[in-house]
Structure 1
Amino acid sequence: MIESLRNFELAFIDEFAVPGKKFTAAAFNAKVNEGNAKFQQAIADEKFTARRPVLGNLKGQFDADAAHLRSKASRGKITPALGTEMKNDINKTYDHALGR
């Protein structure tokens, strides 16, 4: 489940952290809503209650990443390094969540 969430978030960054791409709030919001639903479902389905806070933390990170990306994209401030940096941070966060 955690790997599925990681893959979703990395694809989200690939889709919206594109320099020069026109920011479309409706498409962005739809993808954020999809992500929120995935995280909420993962938390609800998690049988090990000790893992739920980890999933909650990952959702909080997704929310923060989405807000940061929305801010940058809506102002046309996406740089090639931004997506790479965000994906590196996401991978570190998920690796930590998986105990790697």
Structure 2
Amino acid sequence: MSAAVVSVRTKSTSRARVRRRVLVFATTGLALLFVLLTVSLTTGEIPMPAGTALRALVGLGDPGDVLVVQQFRAPRSVAAIVAGAGLGAAGLVLQRLFRNPLASPDVMGV
């Protein structure tokens, strides 16, 4: 008979897995946010390539492109990001306030 090897998870290994998972989700979320921000800056009544829009965002390139991006598209994109973050925070507060068991860490897998 051979002794069965039992794997015991310690707090440090489970915390490391959680930190790695959070890092992966955060990195993926930021990359997705950057892609969507770029799409938001390039689409509109005046279509514009991504490189042109990003250069215009920092003030380089054609003055017309800079005007369109900095005065119209960038504020709209920032307002959308702020509104989305605010709605997410409000949802989080309401879930915790009403003690919704579906939003608990053990159900979400965090």
State TM-score, norm by structure 1. Answer: 0.34
- Structure number with the bigger relative contact order (C-alpha 8 A, sep ≥ 6) is 1
